[in-house]
Amino acid sequence: MTTQFAPDPAPAAVLTKAVIRAATQLGLSRALLARILGVSPATVTRLYSGEYQLDERRKEWEFALLFVRAFRSLDSIVGDEHTARQWLNSENRALNARPVDLLRQAEGLVRVVHYLDASRGIG
């Protein structure tokens, strides 16, 4: 008797699904997600419809990894969608801005990730 295992899903499919899930749970618009990933709004529409997956060879991959990392850190700190959304949209004295506004630029996304990592005691 042999046991068959399902093949591992492709990294692009996993990351694409994680990005969509994170954006949905954080209540981010598709337009904002496009800014975060550095892609067009049409590309984000194709992401959501399953017609496109993130590409490891493009900058969008790095931005997606950072975005999912920020989401996972925030989720582990606050534990629920409502509080995560509230934190994201509230003025943060340490960051000197609302985190949601910082996510729009690469430098801001990195700042938010570092802040959340430090809050969790990582890195």
The pair of three-digit structure tokens given for residue 82, joined into one six-digit string: 């409502």
Specify the pTM: 0.90
The pair of three-digit structure tokens given for residue 98, joined into one six-digit string: 């609302």
- Tens of pLDDT, residue by residue over 22-73, are 999 999 999 999 999 999 999 999 999 999 999 999 999 999 999 999 999 9
- Tens of pLDDT, residue by residue over 71-112, are 999 999 998 999 999 999 999 999 999 999 999 999 999 999
Which among 8, 5, 6, 27 has a CA at the least distance from the CA of 84?
27
Which among 52, 53, 49 has a CA at the least distance from the CA of 15?
53
Whole-angstrom CA distances from 23 to 2, 6, 115 are 40, 27, 19
Cβ atoms of 76 and 48 within 8 Å: the answer is no
d(CA 16, CA 24): 12
